[in-house]
Structure 1
Amino acid sequence: MTPQAGPPLLTRSTISELLARYRHLPRKTLGQNFVADPNTIRRIVTLAGVTEESSVVEIGPGLGSLTLGLAMTAGRVVAVEADPSLLEPLTEVTAGTGVEVIGADALSLDWAETLSGAAVASATTPKVTEWDLVANLPYSVATSLLLGVAERAPMITRGLVMVQREVGERWQAEPGSRTYGIPTVMLARWGTASIVGEVPRSVFLPEPRVDSVLVRFIRHERSPIPTDGVDDERLDRVVRTAFGGRRKMLRRSLSGIVSLEHFEVAGVNPTDRPEQLALADFSRLAAQLPAGR
């Protein structure tokens, strides 16, 4: 796919026309608030650092507002849409742009198979080894989607995603803050997240009832957990159990799985509360659990 001028970006009037013609009522449960402002689309593409060398995955393209902006700049674009009723208008909007539209739920997608199929090498298009994620993620499942990509799609090395403000604040939170929690720790296992911009409600159709932010995600080149550390299953259990008793001291919230001796070996104060611990602290605690426990 060669970057090209392509069709004009979608506006409020063109989105309204598409919705009416396809008799599609935006589904709140799927977070279908479509970006109806071309300037916002250009801003997202610029902040994402997309170039003609970029291979981009978009989750939840909807009617193709952001997809068109990406197609004008990126070398390759794969758009993954879970709502079957949007596949026909999305295919119409992106016709002739070279975008590959895939009808699938990104939460259960086999990323290795999907992106290897989209990245078939040829004499003019070398095999893609790294992908960017650029998307207006469905807000209700944004954390699950990004964690799924982080865990199961190592070929996606960075991203810029739009999410609800509260979600973005949780992702970038520091230990000790009120927004620090399970998503913060589990995402830190794979990379760093930082808010790099705000998006006003007025650019969406329909307008959401929440504020939105743009979050940059960069995958770690090396795992922050030592090679002799802990598997994800044990880490997940310790983190979720600890935050299940957020106001409790760790010796109480983790009493069923971590002994006082384990706290001492891990170098973690049992009187601390979960929001005081960093990823490395949780990983040392989790390493004390027998494998498979």
Structure 2
Amino acid sequence: MTLTPTDVRGLLDRHGLAPRKSDGQNFLVDPNTVTRLVTAAELEPDDRVVEIGPGLGSMTVALADAVEHVTAIEVDAGLVVALDEVLDGRDDVTVLHADAMDVDVDRLPGRPDRVVANLPYSVATPLVLHVFAGEVVRDAWVMVQREVGERWVAGVGDSAYGAVSVKLALVADVQIGLVVPRSVFWPVPNVDSVMVRATRRPDAPTPAERRWLRTVVDAAFAQRRKTLRNNLRRVFPTAEQALEVAAIDPGLRAEALPPAAFVTLAEGLRTTGGGRTP
């Protein structure tokens, strides 16, 4: 069952709810789009999926029809109650009332390893980094604001390339899959959306390595107009030496470095004693 605008209004009215613009609550109300998104996810019948932000459940139902089990994580208590009505006791969906940022996906029952989500735009980047922070999730098929998706997939030379682009590229291969027009939502948002596929890299850094890399990347991009030398030495006392060891021109800006160069830089900082911030 895909919810129509009339269904959505009826559910919200019955439960005394209203879409909250501040939380990015725009509900999918086009059956063809739901089918298109679930089909494009390339799911298998025996997959176990985590859906973050199921809302009123249009995609949840379609996902459950396509896979073995769906764990739907919803932070809004009112929507959880409405979602229970839509799901009508289905045993192939588990609804978890929680903030997804507080959920250790690796520890979920059944160890689901695929993620599908319509992510709130304000927290999309932290959420996708969070689901890849563990070891179980192998890929994510997520909807985000178009500008966010373009930032995620940006490379050296793109105006959108920045710290977020690097952090994601180090853990996953990221590609924009589909463009989703604003007209398929109710209420209609002010932006277009894209579906992004992020597939874990087999050579992704370990959790400990990722934490260190995030520190280095954030320092390097702290002030985009400044050089690597100037940004890094504010945090790392051995910045100059590390850049020399890594064979990186200290006069470059962070935006000139491909993701792999940050791995080399991070190792240089570690070996030169820059592993501890002053």
Could you tell me which residue of structure 2 aligns to residue 259 of structure 1? Answer: 239
Give the CA deviation at 1:275.
Answer: 0.7
State how far apart, in whole Å, the 2-side matches of 1:168 and 1:156 are: 19
Q: Contact 1:66–1:135 (CA<8 Å) still a contact in 2?
A: no
Q: Which moved more, 1:163-172 or 1:94-103?
A: 94-103
Give the CA deviation at 1:261.
Answer: 2.1
Q: Contact 2:38–2:63 (CA<8 Å) still a contact in 1?
A: yes
Give the CA deviation at 1:232.
Answer: 2.6
- The alignment status of 1:143 with 2:137, answered yes or no, reads no
Offset from partner CA, 1:178-215 (integer Å, 9 cap, x none): 10111111111211111011011110011111110010
Choose which of 117, 132, 145 in structure 2 pairs with 1:164. Answer: 145
Please give the residue correspondences for 1:1-293 in structure 2 after superposition, counting only pairs within 5 Å: 8-97=1-90, 98-113=92-107, 115=108, 117=109, 119=110, 131-152=113-134, 154-223=135-204, 231-256=209-234, 257=236, 258-287=238-267, 288-289=269-270, 290=273, 291-293=275-277
State how far apart, in whole Å, the 1-side matches of 2:44 and 2:211 are: 37
State how far apart, in whole Å, the 2-side matches of 1:267 and 1:95 are: 61
Q: Contact 2:170–2:260 (CA<8 Å) still a contact in 1?
A: no
State how far apart, in whole Å, the 1-side matches of 2:188 and 2:25 are: 10
Sort the Cα spacing of 1:284 and 1:157 in 2 relative to 1 into closer, same or farther, 3 A. Answer: same
Give the CA deviation at 1:135.
Answer: 1.1
Q: Contact 1:139–1:163 (CA<8 Å) still a contact in 2?
A: yes
Larger fraction in helix: 2
Q: Which amino acid aligns with 1:44?
A: L
Structure 2, unmatched stretches of 5+, are none
Secondary structure (helix, strand or coil) at the match of 1:80 reads strand
Q: What is the aligned length?
A: 269
TM-score (norm 2): 0.92
Give the CA deviation at 1:155.
Answer: 1.4
Give the CA deviation at 1:51.
Answer: 2.6
State how far apart, in whole Å, the 2-side matches of 1:241 and 1:195 are: 27
Secondary structure (helix, strand or coil) at the match of 1:189 reads helix
Secondary structure (helix, strand or coil) at the match of 1:270 reads coil
State how far apart, in whole Å, the 1-side matches of 2:56 and 2:276 are: 44
State how far apart, in whole Å, the 1-side matches of 2:184 and 2:258 are: 37
TM-score (norm 1): 0.87
Q: Over aligned residues, Cα RMSD in angstroms?
A: 1.6
Q: Contact 2:2–2:61 (CA<8 Å) still a contact in 1?
A: yes
Q: Contact 1:57–1:78 (CA<8 Å) still a contact in 2?
A: yes
Secondary structure (helix, strand or coil) at the match of 1:244 reads coil
State how far apart, in whole Å, the 1-side matches of 2:211 and 2:33 are: 39
Q: Which amino acid aligns with 1:215?
A: V
Give the CA deviation at 1:38.
Answer: 0.8
Secondary structure (helix, strand or coil) at the match of 1:53 reads coil
State how far apart, in whole Å, the 2-side matches of 1:49 and 1:263 are: 43
